Amino acid sequence: MSTYLYLILNLGSLSIPLLYSIFEKKFHFIQYIKIAFISILLVAIPFLVWDAFFTSIGVWGFNSDYHLSLLILNMPIEEWMFFFCIPYACLFTHEVLKYYFPNYKLSKQNTIIISVFLLLLTSTLLIFNIGKWYTTVNFVCFILLMVYSLKKQVKVLQEYLPSFLIILIPFFIVNGVLTGTGIDNPVVWYNDSENMGVRLFTIPFEDIFYAFNMLFSIQLLFNFLKNESDV
């Protein structure tokens, strides 16, 4: 069973959102499946390149006890699936929250305050950890994404930041297992010399910003393509 753990985590994360997308008629997210897939794919490409490069230089790696033997660029097939299954579940979660709770968002002022605080935090941490691969690349990407969003996408941030707090709940569960919570060894191991070495339970602190970089980028693309299709 342990060999299928990573696969089970992927399919388990995808199953409920996908089934709900198909059979729930009021919200009916399945109508956006094409633009959802395009958005996820376009963001998955650079993240998979990033992933493969970090795997090749030992920033992180995978425990063969918990995944299938099929490897592509030294990454298990489940790692490739991760960049489609998890983003779909998170995109779906945000869109459901927007649909059923349209007022579940921050004020513009609070959005700016939180965003500036996060920029100051990541910039400071970056200065003291520059050169550590995971910290450096992750925080540089976050800073660029957040600066762009404050200039062009504040309304989207107002909606997305509260949703991201909800998304972090399943994130901590899935990523916690992947990084070793409740199992003998981590599914995905990290070289702590290439990050700050700060863990939230078993999860590297940088993973939260990595998740935001990926998921918010997908959301921005999805919003753009959805608006274009509605014209």
pLDDT on residue 129: 98
Domain count, the chain: 1
Nearest to 216 by CA among 121, 173, 152: 152
Task: Tell me the C-alpha distance between 226 and 219, whole Å.
Answer: 10
DSSP letters, 201-221, are TTEETHHHHHHHHHHHHHHHH
pLDDT on residue 26: 85
Please give the distance of CA 230 from its chain centroid, rounded to a whole number: 26
Return the ∠ at Cα 153 (arms to 54 and 166), rounded to 5°.
65
- Secondary structure in 3-state letters for 145-158: HHHHHHHHCHHHHH
Phi-psi region of 60 (alpha: psi -120 to 50; beta: other; left: phi over 0): beta
pLDDT on residue 185: 95
What count of residues does the chain have? 231
The whole domain housing 199 covers 2-230
Q: In a structure prediction context, what are the per-residue pLDDT tens digits for the chain, which is 231 residues long?
A: 689 999 999 999 999 999 999 888 888 899 999 999 999 999 999 999 999 999 999 999 999 999 999 999 999 999 999 999 999 999 999 999 999 999 999 999 999 999 999 999 999 999 999 999 999 999 999 999 999 999 999 999 999 999 999 999 999 999 999 999 999 999 999 999 999 999 999 999 999 999 999 999 999 999 999 998 765
pLDDT on residue 1: 62
Q: Tokens in use for 65?
A: 């006890």
- Decide if 203 contacts 76 (C-beta within 8 A): no
Task: Tell me the C-alpha distance between 106 and 124, whole Å.
Answer: 25
pLDDT on residue 231: 54
- Decide if 118 contacts 150 (C-beta within 8 A): no
Other beta carbons less than 10 A from residue 77's beta carbon: 16
- The answer for residues whose C-beta is within 8 angstroms of residue 211's C-beta and 6 or more apart is 167, 168, 171, 175
